[in-house]
């Protein structure tokens, strides 16, 4: 089975590597050359163009956003070069609207389409900890299941409409961002009353809020440790906008999503695009002038 | 050691029972007679007035809110009857402002004061699962530690200013309410896109959001199961107001707390005061008219 | 007709002066002595205590807030000294809850009660520009109408329940604060796109937003001219809290009121309590870092 | 001078008519035929295609939104057919981003570009009450000034970058929507306390809030008179999104804009897209269940 892989950013590189380790032959393409060379060193073959990389049985793509997806698939013409009968596995966190459009466009051309966004960080992929959310026609998902299982610890099958996986991914990232903002506000209130963020978070994760999100981001917030970013604030903002766009399209009021938008904009206006997205906690701290108070 | 206990609501009753089971003699008082009789059957002695119940070495109180505390301690005169040298352990979720005031008033009278709000539900107390947040002068906390340990699984010591425990309790309940609202918005977005709340929550609690809050309330929201209430919406609203009051006093902007206020008010206007507080999820569902959509 | 006047702050002083100019004899009391001397120089008589000042046919009070009203009427015992058959005209911007309570307490003692909050600034009172909102039993309002007409340009009669005037006053101040926040956000968006606040406001007040609020506050915001304050930010915050308290009591979600709360808290945390309340516009400008941009 | 006019909706038709009345010869095009026939009856000439309509000295367009503008200018190829040396006057309320793009594209082709969005309603145009916001290269604006003056009562010149006029228009519509939401919340608070919306608005417009927006929309809200729409809610929502898009692009937190988004989404979910946009006031009334209360 020939496998193509387009998009070798921090996440894509690790996913491609998992596929190679599982014994698959990959032909890879990336906008910049560096990551391609890395993968070639790992055993992949370099494609000379997106169109070449899609001449496979299963195409994986992990592109940054709607714009990058459109740029490769539509503008660079890759979409039209995908051979009928093959399956496209799209790992990117894209909009619900684009997911629907891609499913439709592939269907017209008799190409299978599986949305397969993931939860996880680059460093956890190598350890096999990725979670994969998969949705698409059962026949297509069945066909790529061995590949999806090779890249992560669990594949969550989410039905036959591809965009369902994207909705869950978007809703999930919204929940993480809301948890960050919630910790920011709770710890600001605590700090203004003389209780440190770590005292608060120790109690909360030790009682009601076990789980990776509260433990991980709680530590970052308590230590103001936002660099290097695990997930850049500019990407977190992008995902908050995906939630807002989906709620616009579906007419669902989401007041917390609106709060998040303003926190991200405030952080961006303060030049924090490249910090970890948990740095939106500093927005709340700054508004309350916590650093100028003696506690 | 003589122990008094005032306030035998659903929570107070169970805490008092734990103390009796640990071998302590209790003298108890409650505004209504029923719970007193229950505790007497368990081996407690009934006080004829609040003033009688406070003539002890350690007084526990578990009253509903600031108003109830004020009514018993100030208006009914119990405060002035507490003997110097004794310790008052206050389990109630009260305002930061009242906590400060009480600590001050007790200090003037040479009475120890320990704030000891708890995380847990009535049914979990019997199983010894309560978490106790304790703050006060070390000498006082040390003295009552055996009692605090008798009522729960863990005592979190939070320093020597009593209100610190109240701040943590208030911040914690804010975090729970925010988690509920977050799940409400996330699942509304999912449902409007054909993904059920339980599908979404299964993925989220199975990946990033392990922990009692997301698992427990996620199930209630997915099943619209708000009655009987585990924690009544009117009380959840009360606690949201405690967070807002503390943020007013400390000048800390808290936009999510503001969102919660409006969700609670919307639910109250719709007559849902006696449902479980997770019923604020229905506010979001109603605003998006999810029940009128076919998914 | 003997007239008492309690509360000689910036507003109270001017109102009292209008009554003196209209030919009435006033006996006045104020917590601090300075303003009393001023009024005595204008022809008033000084009372030695609140209780003395209320021994009149019509008592006017203009106290700062609920706390000040409670302190004079309840704690200092003035309420019990008001003679049956007289009328109390309360100009203060107080809570709906206190307005109801006062109406009840006066009724029990056979004292008339007229809520008469005002729209206007100290300097506009002397020019006769005050607007008076009056509510209370028609008999009582009729009796004091000549006095109300003496102090302002127009008396708006708002029915027989006293708190109705307070609701309108609170709703009105909420509308002003919202207009300020709206101008803040609109002008921040304009400035970030190279259009100055004054360019924007010139168009808006010249087309759709004629009226004192937009013209007056628009100028202050465009010129960042917040000192000396026409109406201090700490008082604007107090009034925003009155709106929130009323919406709590009546279960009315008010998301813009919630936004205002956070803007006021942000301004207070930045030390702006004594600036004009339109300085909440700087909160928005600061969050967007407008002063660091070149436009 | 040959004048083209594309986009004969309710607004476009009236503006075109003003130009005809001022003695100009117009060649007009519209997607549907009906309005074209009307204008022909008034003396205009019908173009057979957008490309024909742009073969003029001055082209006016009044298209619904970014999408409609793109559809005519880009997809239908009208942009490339505009003769160098002519001027395009764009009356549409479009995004800041599209305004910048259009200015650039015209510049490349040596076509003048003037952004000229308007404040006013169809029925006020005939009476000459329109306000025109004009921005563009002074030479271009100068050239079309007689035309702009013919269609309205006043032309506000807003500088040489076209998008400046769009920013002011977007900020202005944001201010109107915020005024509607503000009146909605204020009147909900009043109604829940027994004061009718009209009582409140009579006081407010009679004291501090004179001006067309508060008087006009206040009456609609007080009377629940949302049909036929003066400006449809779906268009108001579109404009709220333009404000949000501009604030996203410029990194300006705008919490009231976020509140408006949710109110519009709530109204849309309730099927109110074709009511007047002031119907967002019903969202607040519904949330507070005002219609089920007896006042």
Q: Tell me the average pLDDT across C35-42.
A: 97
Q: Is A71 left (phi over 0), alpha (psi -120 to 50) or beta?
A: alpha
User: C258 and B262: CB-CB below 8 Å?
Assistant: yes
CA distances in angstroms from C293 to A33, A62, C285, listed in the order given: 36, 35, 11
The strand ranges marked E within B171-223 are none
Q: What torsion do the CA atoms of A234, A236, A242, A243 make, to the nearest 10 degrees?
A: -140
Q: What are the residues whose beta carbons fall under 8 Å from the beta carbon of D117, sequence distance 6 or more? A: D90, D91, D92, D93, D132, D133, D165, D166, D168, D169
pLDDT in tens, D205-256: 999 999 899 999 999 999 999 999 999 999 999 999 999 999 999 999 999 9
- Residue A294 has a pLDDT of 65
CA of D94 to nearest chain B CA: how many angstroms apart?
27
User: C188 and D254: CB-CB below 8 Å?
Assistant: yes
D189: nearest CB among C188, C189, C243: C243
- Residue D1 has a pLDDT of 87
Closest chain C residue to the Cα of A268, Cα to Cα: C288
CA of D84 to nearest chain B CA: how many angstroms apart?
48
Q: Helix C163-192 crosses helix D255-269 at what angle (to 10 degrees)? A: 110
- Residue B293 has a pLDDT of 84
Chain A hits for C269, Cβ within 8 Å: 287-289
Residue B214 has pLDDT above 70, yes or no: yes
pLDDT in tens, A109-167: 999 999 999 999 998 899 999 999 999 999 999 999 999 999 999 999 999 999 999 99
- Residue A223 has a pLDDT of 98
User: C178 and D174: CB-CB below 8 Å?
Assistant: no
Which of B51, B100, B169, B294 is an active site residue? B169
Residue D294 has pLDDT above 80, yes or no: no
Contact A118, A132 (CB under 8 A): yes
* A255 in contact with B, Cβ within 8 Å: yes
Of A204, A208, A214, A192, the residue nearest A292 (C-alpha): A192
**What's the farthest any 2 CA atoms get from each other in chain D?**
66
Residues A43 and A49: their CA atoms lie apart, in Å, by: 18
- Residue A293 has a pLDDT of 84
Q: Which two tokens stand for residue D1?
A: 């001078």
Q: Which two tokens stand for residue B104?
A: 């001050």
- Residue D293 has a pLDDT of 84
* Three-state secondary-structure class, residue C27: strand
Q: Tell me the average pLDDT across D106-127.
A: 95
* B254 in contact with D, Cβ within 8 Å: no
Chain D hits for C170, Cβ within 8 Å: 189
pLDDT in tens, B33-52: 999 999 999 999 999 999 99
For residue B282, cis peptide bond before it (omega within 30 degrees of 0): no
- Residue B108 has a pLDDT of 97
Residue A287 has pLDDT above 90, yes or no: yes
- A-contacting residues in D 205-244 (Cβ below 8 Å): 241, 244
Contact C74, C20 (CB under 8 A): no
Chain centre to alpha carbon of residue C245: 16
Band of the pLDDT at D67, cuts 50, 70, 90? Answer: very high
pLDDT in tens, D155-199: 999 999 999 999 999 999 999 999 999 999 999 999 999 999 999
Residue C295 has pLDDT above 60, yes or no: no
D193: nearest CB among C156, C193, C246: C246
pLDDT in tens, C145-195: 999 999 999 999 999 999 999 999 999 999 999 999 999 999 999 999 999
pLDDT in tens, A57-74: 999 999 999 999 999 999
Cα Rg of chain C, angstroms: 20
Residue A254 has pLDDT above 80, yes or no: yes
Q: Is C29 left (phi over 0), alpha (psi -120 to 50) or beta?
A: beta
Q: Helix D197-207 crosses helix D163-192 at what angle (to 10 degrees)? A: 130
State chain C's mean pLDDT as an integer: 97
Q: Is B112 left (phi over 0), alpha (psi -120 to 50) or beta?
A: beta
* Three-state secondary-structure class, residue A121: coil
Please report the sign of the dihedral spanned by the C-alpha atoms of residue A194, residue A196, residue A202, residue A207: positive
Band of the pLDDT at C211, cuts 50, 70, 90? Answer: confident
Q: What are the residues whose beta carbons fall under 8 Å from the beta carbon of A114, sequence distance 6 or more? A: A87, A88, A89, A90, A134, A135, A136, A140, A141, A144, A162
Residue B211 has pLDDT above 90, yes or no: no
* B251 in contact with A, Cβ within 8 Å: yes
DSSP state of C223: H
- Residue B1 has a pLDDT of 87
User: D193 and C243: CB-CB below 8 Å?
Assistant: no
For residue D228, cis peptide bond before it (omega within 30 degrees of 0): yes
What is the interface size between A and C, counted as CB pairs within 8 Å? 22
pLDDT in tens, D8-62: 999 999 999 999 999 999 999 999 999 999 999 999 999 999 999 999 999 999 9
- D-contacting residues in A 116-145 (Cβ below 8 Å): none
User: C211 and D214: CB-CB below 8 Å?
Assistant: yes
Please report the sign of the dihedral spanned by the C-alpha atoms of residue C91, residue C97, residue C102, residue C108: positive
Contact D140, D115 (CB under 8 A): no
* C172 in contact with D, Cβ within 8 Å: yes
Tell me the backbone φ, ψ of residue B151, rounded to 5 degrees.
-95, -10
- Residue C293 has a pLDDT of 84
A255: nearest CB among D247, D252, D262: D262
Residue A295 has pLDDT above 60, yes or no: no
Q: What are the residues whose beta carbons fall under 8 Å from the beta carbon of C133, sequence distance 6 or more? A: C115, C116, C117, C118, C119, C156, C158, C165, C168, C169, D203
Q: Which helix (H) or strand (E) segment is B134 a member of? A: strand B131-136
Residues D214 and C207: their CA atoms lie apart, in Å, by: 13
What is the interface size between B and C, counted as CB pairs within 8 Å? 47
3-state secondary structure C40-80: HHCCCEECCCHHHHCCCCEEEECCCCHHHHHHHHHHCCHHH
CA of A285 to nearest chain C CA: how many angstroms apart?
10
Residue B295 has pLDDT above 60, yes or no: no
CA distances in angstroms from B66 to B79, B247, B274, C241, listed in the order given: 14, 17, 20, 19
* B249 in contact with C, Cβ within 8 Å: no
Residues B84 and D157: their CA atoms lie apart, in Å, by: 78
D269: nearest CB among B265, B266, B289: B289
**What's the farthest any 2 CA atoms get from each other in chain A?**
66
Residues A147 and A136: their CA atoms lie apart, in Å, by: 15
Tell me the CB-side half-sphere exposure of residue A122, using CA atoms within 13 A: 12
Pairing type for strands D87-90 and A25-29 reads: unpaired
């Amino acid at each position: 089975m020939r496998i193509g892989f387009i998009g070798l950013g921090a996440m894509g590189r690790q996913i491609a590597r998992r596929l190679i380790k599982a014994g698959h032959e990959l032909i890879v393409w990336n906008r910049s050359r560096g990551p391609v060379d890395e993968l070639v060193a790992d055993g992949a073959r370099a494609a000379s163009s997106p169109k070449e990389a899609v001449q496979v049985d299963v195409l994986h793509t992990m592109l940054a956003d709607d714009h990058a997806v459109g740029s490769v698939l539509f503008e660079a013409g890759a979409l039209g070069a995908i051979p009928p009968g093959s399956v496209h596995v799209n790992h990117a966190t894209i909009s619900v609207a684009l997911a629907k459009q891609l499913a439709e466009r592939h269907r017209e051309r008799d190409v299978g389409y599986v949305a397969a966004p993931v939860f996880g960080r680059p460093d956890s992929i190598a350890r096999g900890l990725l979670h994969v959310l998969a949705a698409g026609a059962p026949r297509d998902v069945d066909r790529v299941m061995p590949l999806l299982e090779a890249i992560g610890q669990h594949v969550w099958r989410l039905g036959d409409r591809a965009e369902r996986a994207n909705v869950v991914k978007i809703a999930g990232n919204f929940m993480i961002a809301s948890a960050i903002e919630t910790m920011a506000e709770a710890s600001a209130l605590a700090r203004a009353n003389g209780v440190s963020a770590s005292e608060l978070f120790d109690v909360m994760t030790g009682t009601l809020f076990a789980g990776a999100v509260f433990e991980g981001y709680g530590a970052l917030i308590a230590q103001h440790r936002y660099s290097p970013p695990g997930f850049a604030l500019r990407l977190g903002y992008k995902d908050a906008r995906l939630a807002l766009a989906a709620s616009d399209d579906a007419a669902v009021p989401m007041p917390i999503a609106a709060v998040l938008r303003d926190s991200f904009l405030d952080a961006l206006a303060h030049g924090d695009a490249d910090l970890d997205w948990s740095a939106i906690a500093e927005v709340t701290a700054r508004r309350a002038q916590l650093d100028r108070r003696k506690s």
